Amino acid sequence: MTSSALKPVQLVSVATAVPDCVLSNDELGQVVDTSDEWIFPRTGIRERRILPPDRSLVDLATAAGREAIARAQLDPMDIDIVILATSTASERFGSAGAIQGVLGAKRAVAFDLTAACTGFVFAVATAAQFLQTGCYRRALVIAADVLSRTVDWSDRRTCVLFGDGAGAVVLEAGQTAGLLGMELRSDGTGCDLLTLRNEAEPHQLTDSIQVGQYRNQFIAMNGREVYKFAVREVPEVLEKTLFHSGLEAKEVDGFFLHQANQRILDAIAARMDVPVERFASVMDRFGNTSAASIPLALADWVERGELTVGQLAVAAGFGAGLTWGAIAFRWGRLDD
Ligand code: UT7
């Protein structure tokens, strides 16, 4: 298929779901040797949300997905494909199927996609391929993570950073181009910098055969190196995405970057010579919610009227893998 035959794709709605429970920096100071004075200036994080043990990632993701479908003025039966971007599925065979079932999106094929904090960008890019080729008409992309279940709560270097949340967007094939361009990258040589591993422990099955049995490890991160990677690579991927989209940074109304650290956003904005006020920031309230952080930031701007239908946006994720990537889009349903 030539590119001229590709159908335009629009991002028509966004919604989020976060747990009610708030964990502040001061409260974390009772758990590990830390303080708001250390955390806030270095990260921009004041508090994060924590999912209670009796609620699941599927509950959170389904709530975000249901609301995104309603805001798109659609019915779950209108959805052709559900992609769940997550690194913290409770079901390792994939949680997208459970979400599809609860939503009643019976016509939709559903699967998980794992790309850490770049998951939302990779999932939107993946869903768009199905719509652009005409294979499907409408996609629900949900990005949800519950990193509170994966951190070592005695490790102050990591446990202060992460929080729980979910965000969802509906993508639709239309007449006018919403999605304008993308650039997706991976570098597996950096895979040890940020990990959430299952390690195989040996188990003697018979006299002659040993099998490995998975044991979950906590999140581990080389913060300094990941920081350097983000500040080095993200401006380049943003510039390439803008180039593919025929845009210049100064035309973009809102930048929606992965919410890992306010200092990273400040440094990237400075490198791109864009006022940092055009970079959405919600990490003070939610911390780093991995895949969910971009739709949380996007929804914040859309709900406050900071990004309106037809305005230009760029979203960029970066994180474990290493993975990073960006998409440029004109927001909203553009054919009405
Ligand atoms: O989501 C995926 C992408 N992730 C990221 O992009 C994260 C990128 N990295 C970062 O944002 C930063 O590296 C961090 C915020 C994680 C850490 O900031 P840093 O300035 O690189 O701190 P550091 O790890 O080098 O630690 C500096 C000092 C150490 O003390 P010493 O060894 O110098 O005495 C740490 O032990 O700060 C200490 N420290 C803390 N102190 C109080 C580390 N964490 C804490 C803490 N409270 N929570």
Q: Which atom of ligand 1 is nearest to the CA of 157?
A: 44
The per-residue pLDDT string of the chain (336 residues; one tens digit each, 9 = 90 and over) reads: 445 689 999 999 999 999 999 999 999 999 999 999 999 999 999 999 999 999 999 999 999 999 999 999 999 999 999 999 999 999 999 999 999 999 999 999 999 999 999 999 999 999 999 999 999 999 999 999 999 999 999 999 999 999 999 999 999 999 999 999 999 999 999 999 999 999 999 999 999 999 999 999 999 999 999 999 999 999 999 999 999 999 999 999 999 999 999 999 999 999 999 999 999 999 999 999 999 999 999 999 999 999 999 999 999 999 999 999 999 999 999 986
pTM tops 0.85, yes or no: yes
Q: Is the shortest distance between the CB of 29 and ligand 1 below 6 Å?
A: no
Alpha helices in the chain (DSSP H): 25-28, 36-43, 57-71, 96-103, 119-132, 156-159, 223-244, 262-272, 283-286, 293-303
Q: Is the shortest distance between the CB of 293 and ligand 1 below 6 Å?
A: no
Q: Which atom of ligand 1 is nearest to the CA of 293?
A: 1
Q: Is the shortest distance between the CB of 227 and ligand 1 below 6 Å?
A: yes
Residue 145 near residue 290, CB atoms below 8 Å: yes
Q: Is the shortest distance between the CB of 288 and ligand 1 below 6 Å?
A: yes
- Nearest partner of 174 among 331, 334, 329, judged by Cα: 334
List, in sequence order, every residue forming a beta bridge with 288; answer none if it has no partner.
Answer: 162
Q: Which residue CA neighbors atom 17 of ligand 1 most closely?
A: 223
Residue 252 near residue 274, CB atoms below 8 Å: yes
- How far, CA to CA in Å, does 247 sit from each of 244, 273, 284? 8, 15, 30
Residue-range domains of the chain with CATH? 9-179 (3.40.47.10), 181-189+219-330 (3.40.47.10)
Gyration radius of the chain's alpha carbons: 20
Mutate which of 145, 158, 192, 224 for ligand 1 pocket (most atoms within 8 A of beta carbon):
224
Ligand 1 centroid to 220 CA: how many Å?
A: 12
Residue 139 near residue 79, CB atoms below 8 Å: yes
> First-to-last CA distance in the chain?
28
Token pair of 303 as six digits: 């709900």
